[in-house]
Structure 1
Amino acid sequence: MRKQKLITQLTGFILFGMLAGCATSAKDTRDPMENWNRGVQTFNDNLDDYVMKPVAKGYQWVTPSFVDRGVTNFFSNIDDVGVTINDLLQFKLSQTGMDGARFIVNTVAGIGGFIDVAEMIDLPKHNEDFDQTLGVWGVPTGPYLVLPFFGPSSPRGVGGLIGDAAMNPISYIDSGIITGSLFALNATDLRADNLGTEKVAAEAAVDRYEFFKNSYFQRRNYLVYDGNVPEDEEELELDEDYLSPVSPY
């Protein structure tokens, strides 16, 4: 039921955004719903300023560094389940074995993933998600779309979110309270670990909205092509810091 509700809500956001975007005359062909997207980004920015950022700062202040690292490792280990599945769906068989081994090693020897033992034995962390898998299969990104709470995305990105949720073991815990608490802790931990990243956008961007839009498309192309982006797909040159996986929200 939770998955059906999530799909319904996301679909509603997209449809509403499309209706709002129909009334605009877009300058960027990738962004036909600019009015809607700018409004949602403002909402997300306010949510971050008044809720997420203060909570993240409080979490960082009260949490010992070794506990913070352990929480980050725990959620990274859970993420490796989806990474391994996406490896397989993209026919990256060698990487599938490595990421599967990484999950087993950290779960068993790393006390449920709180210690990144795999890193100690040279099993690197990879970044694969269902949006990348759809891109590898040839599904186009589609127009830019800013989602409430989730931030920069696209129609393919929405499909990726749904696929990633289906691959996340936390989604199958038979308790809405526990599931919600774990997702909230993950979001807080991620925001706390990246409190300094907003300075990059503030210092580099004349237009914060355009900065995040261009960064989003650049990063997704970079990930789909494993860093080997064809020249005709390149849209702008960005520093590697701007290709960070962290959402601005």
Structure 2
Amino acid sequence: MKIPSEKSILIVFIVGLLAISGCSSTPSNNAYADPKDPLESINRPFWTFTWDYADKYVARPASSAYAEYVPTDLRTGVYNMALNLNEPSAIINNLLQAKFSDAAVSTGRFLLNSTIGLFGFFDPASDFGWARKQEEFGEVLGSYGVGDGPYLVVPGLGPSSVREEVGDYVDKYYWPLAAIDFWPNIVRMAVVGLEQRASLSQQEKLIDESIDSYEFVKNAYFQNLKFKVYDGNPPIEVNAADEAELEAYLDEID
């Protein structure tokens, strides 16, 4: 039996979600419905499954065991190798945004870490002040004004959006990721996932103690997307109600 590639699976997944989004695009009677979350009735059960079951019984214990039993130096080195494979995509995505200096840094990082750093196991580029800054194709789309698209909760994985899923799909076509076989790529993604889940341990309490963990995570997700698109300097947005209140106040003091 032929195992389907992750690209094929992702195409089917995105097309299916877009079809569902189209079917559920009828106006809602709820005046407080989030326009970014037209699939909330589907996303909420997916989030319950992801956080209360998949994370609690699989991801959380696996990442805790990984962090506890794997030597720190080995963990760091393997994680560096996994992230080093993303540098070529960062080069292209920076160039697409005319971020030439960032593209040069990513180029220097990849060349230095892939050679002297033993395929990225070590990170000598950081000693030169060349900090890692992953740039994704989803951020490229965002910089050109493409919206986030509907919010998605990928079962077992967590928050996402149509733009991010499309961006991740394109990023996988960049060399060397496109040349990596299915199973080695699964190992790479597992390493990245375990490290990212381990780093989330500090935020677990905030999620568990929030009034609505679904809304809390969704809002944090979109804030992070905006933070990345604007390179840490997102514009300050004022909603219509606040703007009207501000104008009324200014009229009073004139």
Task: Give TM-score scaled by structure 1 length.
Answer: 0.83
- Structure 1 pair 233–149 and aligned structure 2 pair: CA distance change class (3 A): farther
Distance, in Å, in 2 between the alignment partners of 1:17 and 1:57 is 36
Counterpart in the other structure of 1:10: 14
Q: In the TM superposition, what is the alpha-carbon distance from 1:206 to its structure 2 partner?
A: 1.9
The corresponding residue for 1:213 is: 218
Native 8 Å contact 2:142 2:229 kept in 1: yes
Local SS of the residue matching 1:227: coil
Aligned partners of 2:97 and 2:143 also within 8 Å? yes
Letter in 1 for 2:39: M
Number of the residue aligned with 2:54: 47
For residues 74 and 28 of structure 2, what CA distance do their matches in structure 1 show? 48
Please, which of 62, 72, 79 is the counterpart of residue 72 of structure 1?
A: 79
1:182 to 173, 180, 188: 188
- Once the two structures are TM-superposed, the CA of residue 139 in structure 1 deviates from its matched residue by 0.9
Q: Is contact 1:89–1:133 with CA below 8 Å preserved after alignment?
A: yes
Amino acid at match of 1:51: V
Q: Return closer, same or farther for 1:219/1:190 CA change in 2, 3 Å cut-off.
A: closer
What's the CA shift for 1:87? 0.5
Q: Residue by residue, what CA displacement relative to the aligned partner does 1:151-197 show, whole Å, maximum 9, x if unpaired?
A: 21222122112112223624422x33322233223322332343333
Deviation at 1:52, TM superposition (A): 1.0
Cα distance in 2 for residues equivalent to 1:221 and 1:168 = 27
Q: What secondary structure sits across from 1:132 in the alignment?
A: helix
Consecutive unaligned residues in structure 2, runs of 5 or more: 240-254
Residue number among 66, 69, 80 corresponding to 1:62 in the alignment = 69
1:95 aligns with 2:99: no
Report the Cα offset of residue 22 of structure 1.
5.2
- Is the contact between residue 142 and residue 156 of structure 1 (CA under 8 Å) also seen in structure 2? yes
* Residue type of the alignment partner of 1:162: Y
SS of structure 2 residue aligned to 1:145 = strand
The code of the aligned residue for 1:226 comes to: D
Structure 1: which 4+ aligned runs deviate by more than 4 Å?
20-26
Aligned residues: 232
CA RMSD of aligned residues (A): 2.3
Q: Distance in 1 between matches of 2:116 and 2:206?
A: 37
Rounded Cα–Cα distance in structure 1 between residues aligned with 2:96 and 2:50: 32
3-state DSSP class of the match of 2:153?
strand
- Counterpart of 2:164 in structure 1 is 157
Deviation of residue 23 (structure 1)? 9.0
State which of 81, 92, 110 in structure 2 corresponds to 1:85. 92
Instruction: Quote the residue 1:244 is aligned against.
Output: none
Identify the residue that residue 243 of structure 2 maps to in structure 1.
Answer: none
The offset of 1:129, in angstroms, is 0.8
Q: 2:120 aligns with which of 113, 123, 134?
A: 113
The more displaced of 1-10 and 37-46 is 1-10
Find the residue that maps to 2:172 and give its secondary structure: helix
Larger Rg: 2
**Pairwise CA distance, 1:111:** 1.0
